[in-house]
A = this chain, B = another copy of it.
Amino acid sequence: MVNRPLTSLKNIRIVLCGTSHPGNIGAAARAMRTMGITDLAMVNPQRYPDPQAVWFAAGAMDVLESARVCKSLSEALAGTGFAIASSARQRDIAVPMVDVREAALQAVAIAQSRPVALVFGNETSGLSNDEVGCCGLLASIPVDPEFSSLNVAAAVQVFCYELRMACGAVLPDDKAQTLATHEEVEAFYAHLEQTITTTGFLNPAHPRKLMYRLRRLFARSRLQVEEVNILRGILSSLLTPKNRDKD
């Protein structure tokens, strides 16, 4: 009952560049593991291996034991099909920037077919422009501009949480929040497209990006079964005799 299988998370790689404190590496491993993400690569960590990494991992040893230490970002990105840079600040660089929620939706969609890397910078200076330039997207976690000092493991936690949410994570046994299946959501989109084509709002000869925009909107809200039923009920009511009788 999820939009995208949680197995997409197996195709997510977290890349930590130049991390200073081994405690942050361990805390990042723990953050990943709680969200079901296990592929970790480090680029030139300042102290690793280190007992503090183990201490802060709090049992996420499978992540640390399978982690790779690399000499360059391109080595760490080997085998991935897409890379996303995490950054707290605006960049004067030609990489599109979105918020972490949007980035997670894109990452999970791509990770259905190929590995995706999420790249995090050093504690003090973040990612260099060269490192960001290796990525196809820049993802930002919104922070208070007066205190933007987000810990790197905390940033990994937020990103991994958003990835799990983007996979349609739901509470166990919560019937009220049962997410619609992929098929149910697609049937809604088809119904919507048919309806707005009938009304003339969507011109198939000039579709612009209308259905794409509508899909992004509803994807962000992660539609529940009952909501799909409501929306399709609305669409059905629009073109039924009851409506027309009122004209």
Contact = CB atoms under 8 A, between A and B. Distances in A.
A230 B242 contact: no
A27 interface: yes
Given A157-B158, A223-B217, A247 B244 contact: yes
A40 to B, nearest CB: 14
Interface stretch (A12-20, A64-72, A108-116, A193-201): A193-201
Nearest to A142: B169
A87 to B, nearest CB: 11
Given A60-B147, A141-B161, A161-B158, A171 B34 contact: no
Interface stretch (A78-86, A129-137, A231-239): A231-239
A187 interface: no
Contact of A154 (B31, B146, B198, B247): B31
Contact of A237 (B98, B99, B201, B244): B201
Most B CB within 10 A of own CB, among A153, A177, A237: A237
B230 A214 contact: yes
Contacts of A27: 151, 154
Contacts of A151: 27, 30-31, 58, 157
Contact of A35 (B36, B99, B143, B173): B143
Interface in A116-175: 140-144, 146-151, 153-154, 157-158, 161, 164-165, 169-174
A186 interface: no
**Copies of chain A in the complex:** 2
A242 B200 contact: yes
Interface string A175-218: 00100000000000000000110111100000000100110011
Contact of A34 (B31, B143, B240): B143
B144 A200 contact: no
A127 to B, nearest CB: 17
A240 B30 CA distance: 56
A81 to B, nearest CB: 24
Interface of A: 27, 30-31, 33-36, 58-60, 90, 97-99, 101-102, 140-144, 146-151, 153-154, 157-158, 161, 164-165, 169-174, 177, 195-196, 198-201, 210, 213-214, 217-218, 220-223, 226-227, 230, 233-234, 237-238, 240, 242-244, 246-247
